[in-house]
């Protein structure tokens, strides 16, 4: 295996410290596999937004964090140096981690968290995947600032794309800006307090001109384009709470991939993307030269759901021009960085797109329903039938703070929790991560409780009268907590119908399964009816996703093959649902051969809790400039 080497320095401040982003490897020739090596230094720094400085946790002084770019077949090594005050893990969202559950990055499920002043190394291969994924912290709410793109190109280069080769590729990461300490945000949600909201939305870390400080509009993301050229947008939703609509005024998208799986090209003027999802879309610069807003709008359910402020953020798509005015001088343009030697015109007003109503969920329903897989040679077929079937309701309930009996419906005696089949997940108290306990077959696994096939009671799950608190909702509200898990024999074909409910809220639910992709067989509005809805299943070319959006008061049916041994998290990617317990563990048993069994933990890095690699002054990963906490960056 040849090795690829890169180097990157990141200026972290306007007045003080610089944080060095280390990348190493040697130049890769041809299509040979490579080792791509990064160092992620997790630290805190002050960022000034909306006339206020906020201390945030970042990787390498960047927000968003550095992108990892690889070719299919490469190996990745990421050294995480934790110089923050938080326990940290990094999850490689959507990476299948074949026979490598140890690198999945979920605290106390696959590994011990990395304590402050310790480091840990992730090693994994990237095989049989192409497209856009991402990485993020999997602790508390820190993924709001600890995240970045993970881009996988074909082994033989961009000319192998199953669509016209773009002239340029551009990551678009939609995020939120929180002025609240994110640890505190998580503590409040765990305690049933959901009154906090972000202060704004970001696009590639910038707030955009809808926000201002002392009357001065904020700088936004700018994409300079040339007429007639094609741009591949790699869109990632990294927000904590909201599905988003994305539009560019005067332009259309051709969606070509989702969650690092190619789809049949789909033309649309709006992309719908939920937290955890990624969408790859081509945009041709075929509008009249000018400036056009690219706008992301957060959605929310209509009343009677609680209405909260939702963000809009936007950047600019602006055309370069080399034309001169009638007197031989260039037209009025700014000095903003353009394409080549041409300066883009920025003095003219930008055209804004007409956005869907933020309460209208049907554009999302149709967008997800119109995606189908691009049939390509070598793709695994959809299994014709399932070995096991589950019906999983996604809702909200309450547990008593003390004892088995308490007042509910908003009483301080109870805590609101999120549920799967009326059970709310909580981690068991163990001495080691569950994956290690599973591998060594210790008694720690005895604390797990089986996730049942069905909810304990059947009722009209999508009855809108259940949304507000009241007698009808009250009798269904009580639930309980448990360490929910489900075991599957290796190779089991599993069907799951996820049913969103109207219990105390009616949000959609982006369900993410670690370590596996899912065939999305069908979706519907209202209650799932097997006799009626199985006939809708697409067994020919269903889209393949790692994060599946279950529509508001509707359902989605998925099928997956449990063939990757390990202990895998399945959860809603809305952070408040995850913090409240909408999660479970899927345990996939070993297969009959060494090649279908979970290998031993990598002893060189995978050490017991509180015994990770501690930083020492002469550690190779220890930065020469250790004063990163509190570093200033320019307002962006």
pLDDT digits (tens, 9 = 90+) for 486-537: 999 999 999 999 999 999 999 999 999 999 999 999 999 999 999 999 999 9
Confidence of residue 214 (pLDDT cuts 50, 70, 90): confident
pLDDT score for 444: 85
Residue 634 has pLDDT above 60, yes or no: no
The predicted model gives 21-37 an average pLDDT of 57
pLDDT digits (tens, 9 = 90+) for 121-163: 999 999 999 999 999 999 889 999 999 999 999 999 888 999 9
- CB proximity list for 316: less than 8 A, separation 6 or greater: 220, 221, 222, 223, 291, 292, 293, 294, 346, 350
What gap in Å lies between CA 99 and CA 491, rounded to an integer? Answer: 14
What gap in Å lies between CA 18 and CA 91, rounded to an integer? Answer: 26
pLDDT digits (tens, 9 = 90+) for 108-118: 999 999 999 99
The H or E element that residue 173 is part of is strand 168-177
Residue 48 has pLDDT above 60, yes or no: yes
pLDDT score for 625: 33
- Residue 50's closest CA among 172, 186, 202? 202
How confident is the prediction for the chain on average, in pLDDT? 87
pLDDT score for 604: 62
Dihedral Cα 600, 606, 607, 610, nearest 10 deg = -140
Residue 64 has pLDDT above 50, yes or no: yes
pLDDT score for 158: 85
**Comparing 20-24, 90-94, 309-313, which segment has the lowest mean pLDDT?**
20-24
pLDDT score for 605: 64
* Strand intervals (E) in 204-311: 212-213, 216-217, 222-225, 230-237, 244-248, 253-258, 261-268, 271-273, 278-284, 291-298
pLDDT digits (tens, 9 = 90+) for 381-416: 999 999 999 999 999 999 999 988 898 877 889 999
Confidence of residue 320 (pLDDT cuts 50, 70, 90): confident
pLDDT digits (tens, 9 = 90+) for 277-293: 999 999 999 999 999 99
Residue 294 has pLDDT above 90, yes or no: yes
Confidence of residue 613 (pLDDT cuts 50, 70, 90): low
User: Which residue bears the tokens 């805590």?
Assistant: 415
- Residue 436's closest CA among 591, 602, 233? 602
- 201-215, 230-244, 400-414: which has the highest mean pLDDT? 230-244
pLDDT score for 213: 85
**Comparing 97-101, 180-184, 351-355, 557-561, which segment has the lowest mean pLDDT?**
180-184
Cβ neighbourhood burial of 527 (10 Å; 0-12, 13-18, 19+): middle
Residue 388 in tokens: 């096991």
**Residue 435 main-chain phi, psi, to 5 deg:** -60, -40
**Residue 575 main-chain phi, psi, to 5 deg:** -65, -35
- CB proximity list for 178: less than 8 A, separation 6 or greater: 54, 141, 144, 185, 198, 199
Please list the residues that pair with 498 across neighbouring strands: 392, 556
Confidence of residue 607 (pLDDT cuts 50, 70, 90): low
pLDDT digits (tens, 9 = 90+) for 172-203: 999 999 998 898 888 888 877 778 889 999 99
- Residue 154's Cα: distance from chain center in Å? 22
pLDDT score for 378: 75
Residue 626 has pLDDT above 80, yes or no: no
pLDDT score for 275: 97
Please list the residues that pair with 562 across neighbouring strands: 492
pLDDT digits (tens, 9 = 90+) for 465-486: 999 988 888 899 999 999 999 9
Residue 362 has pLDDT above 80, yes or no: yes
Domains, the chain, ranges and CATH?
32-159 (2.60.40.420), 163-321+350-375 (2.60.40.420), 388-596 (2.60.40.420)
SS3 content of the chain, % helix, strand, coil (to 5): 10, 35, 55
What gap in Å lies between CA 78 and CA 73, rounded to an integer? Answer: 16
Confidence of residue 630 (pLDDT cuts 50, 70, 90): very low
Q: pTM for the whole thing?
A: 0.89
Cβ–Cβ contacts within 10 Å for residue 119, how many?
Answer: 24
pLDDT score for 12: 34
pLDDT score for 325: 32
pLDDT score for 533: 97
pLDDT score for 24: 36
Residue 618 has pLDDT above 60, yes or no: no
The predicted model gives 562-585 an average pLDDT of 96
The predicted model gives 228-236 an average pLDDT of 98
Helix (H, G, I), strand (E, B) or coil at 139: coil
What gap in Å lies between CA 230 and CA 228, rounded to an integer? Answer: 7
pLDDT score for 119: 93
pLDDT score for 606: 66
pLDDT score for 559: 98
What gap in Å lies between CA 396 and CA 438, rounded to an integer? Answer: 30
Percent of the chain with pLDDT over 70: 86
What gap in Å lies between CA 19 and CA 113, rounded to an integer? Answer: 23
Alpha helices in 342-491 (DSSP H): 362-369, 434-440, 471-474
The H or E element that residue 187 is part of is helix 182-190
């Amino acid at each position: 295996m040849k090795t690829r080497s890169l180097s990157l320095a990141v200026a972290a401040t306007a007045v003080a410290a610089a944080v060095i982003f280390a990348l190493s490897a040697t130049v890769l020739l041809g299509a040979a596999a490579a080792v791509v090596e990064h160092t992620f230094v997790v630290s805190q720094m002050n960022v000034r937004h909306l006339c206020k400085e906020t201390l945030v946790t970042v990787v390498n002084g960047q927000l968003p964090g550095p992108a990892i770019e690889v070719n299919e077949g490469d190996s990745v090594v990421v050294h995480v140096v934790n110089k923050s005050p938080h326990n940290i893990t990094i999850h490689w969202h959507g990476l299948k981690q074949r026979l490598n559950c140890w690198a999945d990055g979920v605290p106390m499920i696959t590994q011990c968290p990395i304590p402050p002043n310790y480091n840990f190394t992730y090693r994994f291969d990237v095989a049989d995947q192409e497209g856009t994924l991402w990485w993020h912290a999997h602790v508390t709410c820190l993924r709001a600032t600890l995240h970045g793109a993970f881009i996988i190109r074909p082994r033989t280069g961009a000319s192998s794309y199953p669509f016209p080769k773009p002239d340029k590729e551009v990551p678009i990461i939609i995020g939120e800006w929180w002025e609240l300490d994110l640890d505190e945000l998580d503590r409040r949600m765990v305690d049933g307090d959901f009154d906090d909201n972000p202060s704004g939305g970001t696009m590639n870390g910038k707030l955009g001109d809808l926000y201002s400080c002392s009357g001065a509009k904020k700088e936004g993301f700018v994409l300079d384009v040339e007429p007639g050229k094609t741009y591949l947008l790699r869109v990632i939703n990294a927000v904590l709470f909201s599905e988003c609509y994305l539009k560019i005024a005067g332009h259309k998208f051709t969606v070509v991939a989702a969650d690092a799986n190619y789809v049949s090209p789909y033309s649309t003027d709006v992309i719908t993307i939920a937290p955890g999802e990624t969408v790859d879309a081509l945009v041709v610069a075929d509008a009249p030269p000018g400036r056009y807003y690219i706008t992301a709008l957060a959605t929310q359910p209509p009343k009677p759901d609680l209405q909260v402020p939702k963000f809009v953020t936007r950047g600019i798509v602006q055309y370069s021009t080399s034309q001169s005015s009638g007197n031989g001088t260039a037209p009025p343009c700014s000095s903003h960085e353009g394409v080549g030697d041409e300066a883009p015109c920025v003095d003219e007003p930008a055209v804004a797109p007409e956005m869907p109503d933020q309460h209208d969920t049907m554009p999302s329903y149709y967008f997800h329903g119109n995606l189908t897989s691009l049939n390509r040679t070598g793709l695994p077929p959809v299994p014709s039938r399932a070995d096991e079937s589950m019906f999983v309701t996604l809702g909200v309930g309450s547990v008593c703070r003390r004892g088995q009996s308490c007042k509910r419906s908003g009483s301080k005696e109870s805590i609101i929790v999120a549920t799967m089949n009326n059970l709310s997940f909580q981690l068991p108290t163990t001495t080691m991560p569950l994956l290690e306990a599973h591998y060594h077959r210790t008694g720690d696994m005895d604390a797990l409780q089986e996730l049942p096939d069905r909810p304990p009671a059947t009722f009209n799950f999508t009855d809108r009268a259940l949304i507000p608190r009241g007698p009808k909702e009250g009798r269904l509200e009580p639930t309980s907590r448990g360490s929910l898990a489900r075991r599957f024999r290796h190779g089991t074909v599993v069907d799951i119908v996820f049913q969103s409910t109207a219990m105390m809220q009616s949000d959609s639910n982006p369900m993410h399964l670690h370590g596996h992709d899912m065939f999305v067989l069908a979706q519907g509005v209202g209650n799932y009816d097997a006799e009626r809805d199985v006939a809708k299943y697409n067994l020919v070319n269903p889209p393949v996703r790692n994060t599946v959006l279950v529509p508001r008061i509707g359902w989605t049916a998925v099928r997956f093959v449990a063939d990757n041994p390990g202990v895998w998290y399945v959860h809603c990617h809305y952070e408040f649902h995850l913090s409240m317990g909408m999660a479970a563990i899927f345990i996939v048993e070993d297969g009959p051969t060494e090649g279908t069994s979970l290998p031993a933990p990598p002893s060189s890095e995978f050490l017991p809790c509180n015994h990770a690699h501690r930083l020492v002054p002469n550690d190779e990963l220890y930065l020469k400039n250790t004063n990163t906490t509190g570093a200033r960056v320019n307002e962006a």
